[in-house]
């Protein structure tokens, strides 16, 4: 119990609150495809608009990773929040494909600056041996909005035509991290002197030259490709086979993730993280492969729960494993490299998924996702990370 309170410091909690705000905004885009359809955007163009923010983040993140460190993270947070807010306002006030693409590119750039800053500010607050629980809490905070927001949209019956008004409110919420930085007596980071400056290009090359780091990054890319494709296309698939209340899939999945992290989070720091992560990815792989067989709500929602269990295990453990295999000076940077993979997945998943659906249908999409999930699990096994971070 004392260890848990050592982790839940004021600084750790405050940064997680900011993660929750940013994630809530991202979760609003569960209904973005319906808004694009309301604007009359073609499915082909909509696919690229959906993935454009991930493309921007994929380009921006590698450029800023050597620059965002403990000494500069707050400045990047302010700049990213301002850009993110402006882009959200723009998305709700333009209607042509070129301007929508431009707005989404700016949104992705601002979003990744905010995330990179927050993860850099968070790392010094993680005590040794508690990376599994720490990233379990972080991923929990970041994913709860994905359960709540889609359900609220359904309960409140918010029509696609009102999405622009929702984005206006989101643009204001995006500025809250800037206001938080202005609070008096803001908790300071427990940073070490060697972590207050950037590892630089040399540090980036060292990380990219590490076999375990590269295997983990590739596994994360494949995992998030599948997760993003499910996030954007599952509702349309459910409608195509006559399954109602598809939004409940993500609610049930996230509830399962909450259970995993609240009741089983202590296991993350006691056993081999890479093997536990591979087990979670195996569960996800099986669910993706069975989705084409869904013709009733029963199986559909069972797969939602099992998918949530798999996601709840895999997501935090990829971050925790990266924390453990990284030298202290590279921990924040390597977490940001994981964000590159996440954004890459959110670009490639919807983009490639849209092409597969257009050419071959949903069955091919889900089988492809199952294959990529299986490969992601095998890559985690190949890392062969020793048991680390075991707490007494």
Residues 109 and 121: their CA atoms lie apart, in Å, by 19
88-134 pLDDT per residue, tens? 999 988 888 899 999 999 999 999 899 888 888 888 888 777 777 78
Q: Is 86 domain-assigned?
A: yes
Share of the chain above pLDDT 90, in %: 23
pLDDT-based confidence at residue 375 (cuts at 50, 70, 90): very high
Q: Is 368 domain-assigned?
A: yes
Contact 323, 135 (CB under 8 A): yes
DSSP 328-380: GGGHHHHHHHHHHHHHHHHHHHHHHHHHHHHHT-HHHHHHHHHHHHHHHHHHH
Average pLDDT over residues 342-350: 82
* pLDDT in the model for residue 390: 43
Q: Which residue range(s) make up the domain with 265?
A: 2-183+192-383
183-195 pLDDT per residue, tens? 554 555 444 444 4
Residues 139 and 325: their CA atoms lie apart, in Å, by 19
Comparison of pLDDT for 255 and 30, the residue scoring more? 255
The closest alpha carbon to 221, from 7, 81, 57, belongs to: 57
* pLDDT in the model for residue 191: 45
pLDDT-based confidence at residue 391 (cuts at 50, 70, 90): very low
Residues 122 and 295: their CA atoms lie apart, in Å, by 43
Q: Is 391 domain-assigned?
A: no
Q: Is 390 domain-assigned?
A: no
Residues 359 and 293: their CA atoms lie apart, in Å, by 19
**What pTM was computed for the model?**
0.73
pLDDT-based confidence at residue 287 (cuts at 50, 70, 90): very high
Q: Minimum mean pLDDT among 3-12, 179-188, 220-229, 255-264: which range?
A: 179-188
Average pLDDT over residues 75-88: 92
* pLDDT in the model for residue 143: 73
Give the domain CATH number at 366: 1.20.1250.20
Say yes or no to pLDDT of 238 above 60.
yes
Residues 98 and 93: their CA atoms lie apart, in Å, by 13
Say yes or no to pLDDT of 147 above 80.
no
- Residue 252, token pair as written in the block: 């049930």
Q: Minimum mean pLDDT among 28-42, 227-241, 253-267: which range?
A: 253-267
Share of the chain above pLDDT 70, in %: 89
DSSP letter at 261 equals H
Question: Looking at the 3D structure of the chain, how many domains does it have?
Answer: 1
Half-sphere exposure of 176 (CA within 13 A, CB side): 17
pLDDT-based confidence at residue 217 (cuts at 50, 70, 90): very high
Which residues, at least 6 apart from 74, have a Cβ–Cβ distance to it below 8 Å?
Answer: 117, 121, 181
Residues 331 and 268: their CA atoms lie apart, in Å, by 18
Q: Is 108 domain-assigned?
A: yes
Handedness of CA 345, 351, 355, 360 (dihedral sign): positive
DSSP 165-196: HHHHHHHHHTTHHHHHHTSTTPPPP---GGGS
């Amino acid at each position: 119990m004392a260890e848990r309170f050592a982790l839940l410091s004021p600084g750790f909690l405050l940064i997680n609150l900011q993660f929750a705000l940013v994630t809530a905004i991202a979760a609003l885009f569960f209904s973005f495809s319906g808004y694009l359809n309301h604007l009359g955007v073609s499915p082909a163009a909509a696919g690229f608009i959906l993935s454009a923010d991930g493309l921007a983040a994929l380009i921006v993140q590698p450029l800023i990773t050597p620059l965002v460190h403990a000494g500069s993270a707050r400045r990047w947070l302010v700049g990213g929040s301002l850009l993110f807010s402006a882009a959200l306002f723009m998305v709700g006030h333009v209607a042509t494909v070129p301007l929508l693409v431009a707005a989404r590119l700016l949104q992705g750039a601002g979003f990744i600056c905010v995330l990179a800053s927050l993860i850099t500010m968070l790392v010094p607050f993680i005590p040794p041996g508690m990376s599994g629980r720490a990233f379990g809490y972080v991923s929990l905070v970041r994913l709860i909005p994905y359960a709540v927001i889609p359900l609220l949209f359904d309960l409140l019956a918010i029509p696609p035509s009102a999405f622009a008004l929702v984005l206006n409110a989101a643009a204001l919420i995006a500025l809250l991290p800037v206001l938080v930085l202005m609070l008096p007596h803001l908790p300071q980071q427990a940073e070490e002197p060697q972590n207050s400056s950037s590892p630089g290009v040399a540090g980036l090359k060292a990380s990219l030259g590490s076999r375990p780091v590269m295997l983990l990054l590739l596994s994360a890319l494949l995992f998030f490709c599948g997760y993003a494709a499910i996030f954007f296309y599952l509702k349309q698939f459910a409608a195509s086979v006559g399954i109602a209340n598809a939004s409940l899939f993500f609610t049930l999945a996230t509830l399962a993730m909450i259970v995993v992290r609240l009741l089983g989070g202590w296991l993350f720091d006691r056993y081999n993280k890479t093997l536990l992560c591979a087990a979670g990815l195996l569960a996800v792989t099986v669910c993706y492969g069975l989705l084409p067989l869904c013709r009733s709500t029963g199986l559909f929602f069972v797969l939602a729960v099992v998918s949530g269990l798999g996601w709840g295990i895999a997501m935090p453990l990829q971050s925790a494993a990266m924390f453990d295999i990284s030298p202290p000076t590279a921990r924040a940077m390597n977490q940001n490299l994981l964000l590159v993979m996440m954004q890459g997945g959110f670009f490639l998943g919807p983009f490639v998924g849209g092409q597969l659906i257009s050419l071959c249908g949903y069955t091919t999409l889900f089988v492809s996702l199952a294959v990529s999930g299986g490969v992601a699990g095998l890559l985690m096994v190949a890392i062969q990370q020793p048991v680390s971070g075991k707490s007494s």
